[in-house]
Structure 1
């Protein structure tokens, strides 16, 4: 279990871009959960089940922990269990449908359309790295793919003429996502005069490469996003997933269908997609309050 906890904490830092203090909090909560598991003779992460989780939460309540504290522990366990399911350590999620006693989950952070434009203008397409970065960021915002999905793309998974990408999501489920003209044009330009210059091995199939000719890593992508966000003067906390959240929010703001968005994002349950409707309602309220004479 210790090994998977370490992998999970690295996932939080790289994939989710969480703050160090938040990761430390998750680490402390999971350390306490691991101690509970050892007491119950469960030493392997694959042995986590619903009864174990429920008994742990019950013990927290018996020990006088506040609803907010129990909620925090639940949040840590929920994301950890989803991680274990994605890693195929667990066959099903023992935290599925468990309601938190604490406050509702924080809505994901998004950029405005103007901030997105500033971010996407930063890469300098006159050099190889800048052209790669431009194509990569444009594709992510154009499709709303997860970081892991974007970096797992091979060259032959993009149909450059018809404008779509074949994406392998969670559970190896394939979905087809449209790619807009702007992203498609920069992708073709990257392939023509960028990627070939950094391909160390001509058998390499990865679409996005680092400057050593290997598939770009999550850590590498995260550094790229932070660099351009700083250059764009974006003060908001930004993570690799911010582009995905912004993609979803901007589509809904401009009238996209929720079911279509669910399919593009690769959500198994539409309730996951519905969180973005809260963001668009908040935006509508702001517009109303700003412009209505009797608001």
Structure 2
């Protein structure tokens, strides 16, 4: 571990002295490198002995999260710089990044909202309307938990563990996972429950959290409509959909320094390059990732 830190410190000095990079640039290089080091650590591999195929898996994970090609390119550039340094200083004899290519910037990736844009969308919701607080709670949960729209519409009241600050989510293939939920989202849900209690609930939907005016579960189309409407009211020109909130959740966590594995666990992802389910991360580790890196936990 000491040697590991020693090499990173020498690389930092190399960036500062030989490459003459600014302090911000050096920090950015080291932050992006840390993402790879966390990944190879989870794979129980030595970063000085990883192969090109390992790096392909790592980059595939970035694509799977919907990380913008520019951000992918920046991360790959930082990784290439590190391995060039290791080669120059004799720590390795072959550069595993030599054939690693950055994504084409023109490739289509879902839009990502800034934290300010998400706040603008929430702030333009008319809380005087019957569905206002429901919509505010709904969008806050989408962003705070990174849910798929189908997971949001099927979320049950009994799935929300208010005191423990977790929600139980049923994802693809009926696979369940526990996802930390921010105190902001919990507060919005509690506020919504006053309005929910005024709705006449249809049989079979008694436990459904987000209800339509008719007392049934919201449809995917209804959620799309709400999001499109709020984006327009907020003056956002991006093509915004429920999935935009999911990608924004992942991007903001990753850019904040969260563990790639933890993000994939929270999103309910499996590897897109193998059928192996990602390593289990315990609930407290997930909570720490959210509290430390998610913008909503810093308000």
TM-score between both structures, scaled by the size of structure 1: 0.55
Q: Secondary structure at the match of 1:128?
A: coil
Corresponding residue to 1:187 among 171, 186, 189: 189
Number of aligned pairs? 170
Partner of 1:133: 135
Q: Secondary structure at the match of 2:214?
A: coil
Q: Distance in 2 between matches of 1:125 and 1:261?
A: 32
Q: Distance in 2 between matches of 1:232 and 1:202?
A: 36
Partner of 2:271: 269
Within 5 Å, which residues of 2 pair with 1:23-172? 105-172=107-174
Within 5 Å, which residues of 2 pair with 1:213-232? 213-232=215-234
Q: Distance in 1 between matches of 2:213 and 2:120?
A: 25
Structure 1: gaps of 5 or more residues = 1-102, 273-295
TM-superposed CA distance for 1:271, in Å, is: 6.2
In the TM superposition, structure 1's runs of 4+ consecutive aligned residues that sit over 3 Å from their partners are none
Partner of 1:44: none
Alpha-carbon RMSD = 2.1
TM-superposed CA distance for 1:122, in Å, is: 1.8
TM-superposed CA distance for 1:213, in Å, is: 0.9
Q: Distance in 2 between matches of 1:125 and 1:142?
A: 20
Q: Distance in 2 between matches of 1:190 and 1:177?
A: 20
TM-superposed CA distance for 1:255, in Å, is: 1.0
Q: Is the 8 A contact 1:128 1:197 kept in 2?
A: no
Q: Secondary structure at the match of 2:177?
A: strand
Deviations 1:53-81 (A, max 9, x none): xxxxxxxxxxxxxxxxxxxxxxxxxxxxx
Structure 2: gaps of 5 or more residues = 1-103, 275-299
Q: Distance in 2 between matches of 1:215 and 1:112?
A: 29
Q: Secondary structure at the match of 2:197?
A: helix
